[in-house]
């Protein structure tokens, strides 16, 4: 059981990087970006191709991040310069990336079983298995959270936040909202690709279909994080997103342990997200019901 | 007197070539001198908001030129023109970022017209200035710098938006029916704050209003639009002595095409 939880935590922390990317677009920019389904695979594809080609895993991982940045820029240009609606712009990039990713890898999947990865590198200093992955992932997540907290406190970062909050206000204050959108999409997809690169190294393979449903997993994690953990200042929100990704993986590990078929997972996740997204719609009714129940409870006391 | 704004032969048609074609601005020309505080009235569809949106760059004219301080800005995008303009919108939610704090909003406005880089976006050193500005509003907001904008009332948000529009002195202040969504008492308060800010900073201002009484009471010049043209332009002493009755008679005399709405008459 401990091993299952540790495995879930390590996987959750790797997916947390992707979740942070989804948080940037979905929450900060107010833009549902589907290109992440392609950019997570792109990160895995780039890292797998480079590592099997003999490139240092750390450099390969940085290259994967850069690839994601580029993918985000493409979605941003489709949306802002060609005026393609945001959902469609993301779908176009996602579809295009499927072909691009196969071109990068030269085939549909690459194994990294016999290759050096960032995780085998930390094994050499004595951090084996899940412990090694968890330590590496915690360090990377902390670095990302710190960097993003700093960035979104700068003038430029505030301009991105204002763009996500109120585009009309942002333009009236002289902010180039198109550039801010492209910047946020690039950052987001960069993080998603970085996540994909690390997941591939952890699982020792890159597969062209590993991104399927990634956006829903990302949304589920963002929402779980917001519901369960404190939602205050920006740093707390970033931390809650990371924790949300971990909790999501623990929940998944537990339901599989309880006998759910792994192939039913996507349905389970989709239903979870649908319920969470529908909550605001039903909140008045729920509150009214609670109001009926709660005073009675007080009387009992 | 130098001209702050020149609108030259502005034409604007929406949905050109379709059954919904709407010829909104017809060869509209208007000049604003330094220190003009113009109230703009006109019926629904007279082109008031379209005119303001063309000045701000939210809409592009089909033809004609927008000149600010002698510089032709017709081709500049909305965000590029923002360095000249302070804007307050009709919808109180439009002028501020809901999920950001009062001070964050003001810090963003304080950087209007300058390049935004990787310097810290909310320096503690600016908070004293924001507090002082907020205290002028007399709404008790100076002690709520960290409050999220979304928690403020419509009137409070419009008042803060006014500060944001003027914290970097704009060459031209554009007010698009900025009190129309407020209750009468709050509207009066926001208008009083508007007058104070405009007079203190000697701002050249365009204020659109639906309300004839407000149009007469505020500003030093009154422009009436009808069917996309300026049909009335009253300044100086004549503006000061103007009454609602006179204004209505003038409108009828000019044979305005659009009917005046009840709201405009009664307001």
pLDDT digits (tens, 9 = 90+) for A143-193: 999 999 999 999 999 999 999 999 999 999 999 999 999 999 999 999 999
pLDDT higher than threshold 50 for residue A300: no
pLDDT, tens digit, 9 for 90 and up, residues A246-275? 999 999 999 999 999 989 988 988 998 888
pLDDT higher than threshold 50 for residue A121: yes
pLDDT > 90: percent of chain B = 79
Instruction: Specify the pLDDT at position B255.
Output: 61
Interface check for A232 against chain B (CB to CB < 8 A): the answer is no
Choose among B58, B112, B121: nearest Cβ to A173: B112
pLDDT, tens digit, 9 for 90 and up, residues B113-138? 999 999 999 889 999 999 999 999 99
What domains are there in chain A, each with its CATH number? 2-259 (1.10.3470)
A134: left (phi over 0), alpha (psi -120 to 50) or beta: alpha
Give the CA radius of gyration of chain B.
19
Q: What angle do CA A213, A76, A81 make, to 5 degrees?
A: 140
Name the residue in chain A with its Cα closest to that of B111.
A173
- Across chain A, mean pLDDT equals 92
B82 and A176 within 8 Å at the Cβ level: the answer is no
pLDDT > 90: percent of chain A = 79
Instruction: Specify the pLDDT at position B43.
Output: 84
Interface check for A182 against chain B (CB to CB < 8 A): the answer is no
pLDDT higher than threshold 60 for residue B165: yes
pLDDT > 70: percent of chain B = 95
Instruction: Specify the pLDDT at position A275.
Output: 86
Where is B50: in which H helix or E strand?
helix B48-56
A166 and B98 within 8 Å at the Cβ level: the answer is yes
pLDDT, tens digit, 9 for 90 and up, residues B37-69? 999 998 888 899 999 999 999 999 999 999 999
A177 and B79 within 8 Å at the Cβ level: the answer is yes
pLDDT, tens digit, 9 for 90 and up, residues B76-93? 999 999 999 999 999 999
Chain B contact set for A168 (CB, 8 A): 58, 89, 94
Cα distance between residue A223 and residue A226, in whole Å: 5
Interface predicted TM-score (ipTM)? 0.92
Instruction: Specify the pLDDT at position A299.
Output: 41
> If you average pLDDT over residues B239-259, what whole number do you get?
78
Choose among A154, A159, A169: nearest Cβ to B96: A169
Chain A contact set for B118 (CB, 8 A): 151, 154-156
> If you average pLDDT over residues A74-97, what whole number do you get?
97
Choose among A153, A156, A176: nearest Cβ to B117: A156
Q: What angle do CA A101, A102, A103 make, to 5 degrees?
A: 90
Interface residues on B facing A, Cβ-Cβ cutoff 8 A: 56, 58, 77-80, 82-83, 85, 87, 89, 93-100, 104, 107-109, 111-113, 116-122, 164-165
Closest CA–CA distance from residue A247 to any residue of chain B (Å): 26
Chain B contact set for A153 (CB, 8 A): 120-122
Of the two residues B7 and A290, the one the predictor is more confident about is B7
Instruction: Specify the pLDDT at position A292.
Output: 74
B78 and A161 within 8 Å at the Cβ level: the answer is no
Strand partners, A129: none
pLDDT, tens digit, 9 for 90 and up, residues B195-220? 999 999 999 999 999 889 999 999 99
Name the residue in chain B with its Cα closest to that of A152.
B121
Chain A contact set for B113 (CB, 8 A): 174
Name the residue in chain A with its Cα closest to that of B105.
A162
- Across chain B, mean pLDDT equals 92
pLDDT higher than threshold 50 for residue A52: yes
CA B146 to chain centre: 27
Cα distance between residue A163 and residue A31, in whole Å: 11
Instruction: Specify the pLDDT at position B258.
Output: 55
Q: A144 near A21, Cβ under 8 Å?
A: no
pLDDT higher than threshold 50 for residue A114: yes
Name the residue in chain B with its Cα closest to that of A165.
B97
Cα distance between residue A241 and residue A153, in whole Å: 18
Name the residue in chain A with its Cα closest to that of B104.
A158
Q: What angle do CA A264, A37, A205 make, to 5 degrees?
A: 75
Interface test with A, best of B49, B77, B79, B167 (most A CBs within 10 A): B79
A173 and B164 within 8 Å at the Cβ level: the answer is yes
Q: What angle do CA B86, B77, B24 make, to 5 degrees?
A: 80
Closest CA–CA distance from residue A298 to any residue of chain B (Å): 30
Q: Is B258 exposed, middle or buried (0-12, 13-18, 19+ CB in 10 A)?
A: middle
Strand partners, B66: B7
Token representation of residue B260: 């005046």
């Amino acid at each position: 059981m401990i091993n299952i939880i540790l495995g879930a935590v390590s996987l959750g922390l790797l997916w947390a990087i992707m979740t942070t990317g989804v948080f940037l677009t979905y929450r900060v920019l107010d833009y549902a970006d589907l290109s992440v389904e392609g950019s997570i695979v792109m990160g895995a594809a780039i890292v797998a191709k480079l590592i099997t080609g003999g490139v240092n895993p750390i450099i390969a991982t940085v290259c994967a991040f850069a690839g994601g940045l580029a993918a985000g820029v493409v979605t941003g240009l489709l949306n802002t310069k060609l005026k393609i609606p945001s959902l469609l712009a993301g779908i176009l990039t996602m579809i295009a990336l499927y072909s691009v990713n196969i071109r990068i890898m030269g085939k549909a999947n690459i194994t990294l079983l016999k290759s050096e990865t960032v995780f085998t590198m930390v094994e050499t200093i004595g951090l084996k298995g899940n412990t090694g992955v968890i330590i590496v992932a915690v360090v990377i997540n902390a670095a990302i959270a710190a960097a993003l907290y700093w960035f979104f406190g700068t003038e430029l970062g505030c301009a991105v936040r204002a763009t996500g909050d109120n585009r009309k206000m942002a333009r009236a204050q002289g902010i180039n909202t198109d550039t801010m959108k492209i910047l946020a999409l690039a950052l987001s997809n960069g993080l998603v690709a970085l996540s994909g690169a690390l997941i591939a190294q952890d699982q020792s393979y890159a597969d062209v279909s590993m991104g399927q449903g990634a956006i829903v997993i990302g949304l589920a994690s963002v929402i779980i994080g917001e519901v369960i953990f404190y939602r205050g200042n920006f740093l707390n929100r970033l931390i809650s997103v990371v924790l949300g990704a971990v909790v999501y993986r623990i929940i998944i590990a537990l339901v599989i342990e309880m006998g759910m078929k792994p192939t039913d997972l996507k349905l389970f996740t989709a239903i979870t997200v649908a319920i969470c997204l529908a909550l605001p719609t039903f909140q008045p009714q729920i509150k009214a019901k609670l109001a009926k129940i709660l005073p009675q409870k007080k009387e009992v006391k | 007197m130098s001209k702050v704004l020149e609108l030259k032969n502005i034409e604007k048609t929406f949905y050109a070539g379709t059954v919904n074609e709407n010829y909104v601005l017809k060869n509209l020309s208007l000049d604003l001198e330094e220190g003009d505080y113009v109230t703009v009235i006109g019926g629904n569809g007279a082109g008031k908001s379209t005119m303001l949106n063309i000045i701000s760059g939210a809409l592009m004219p089909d033809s004609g030129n927008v000149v600010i301080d002698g510089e032709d800005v017709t081709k500049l995008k909305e965000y590029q023109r923002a360095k000249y303009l302070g804007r307050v919108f009709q919808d109180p939610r439009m002028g501020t970022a809901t999920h950001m704090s009062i001070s964050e909003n003001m810090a963003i406005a304080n950087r209007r017209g300058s390049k935004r880089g990787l310097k810290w976006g909310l320096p503690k050193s600016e908070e004293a200035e924001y507090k002082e500005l907020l205290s002028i509003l007399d709404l008790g907001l100076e002690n709520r710098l960290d409050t999220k904008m979304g928690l403020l009332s419509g009137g409070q948000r419009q008042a803060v938006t006014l500060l944001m529009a003027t914290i970097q002195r704009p060459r031209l202040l554009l007010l698009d029916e900025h009190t129309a969504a407020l209750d009468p008492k709050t509207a009066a308060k926001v208008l009083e704050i508007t007058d104070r800010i405009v007079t203190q900073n000697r701002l050249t201002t365009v204020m659109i209003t639906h309300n004839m009484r407000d149009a007469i009471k505020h500003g030093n010049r009154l422009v009436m639009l009808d069917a996309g043209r300026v049909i009335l332009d009253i300044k100086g002493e004549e503006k000061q002595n103007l009454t609602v009755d006179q204004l209505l008679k003038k409108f009828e005399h000019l044979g305005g095409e659009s009917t005046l709405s009840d709201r405009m008459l009664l307001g």
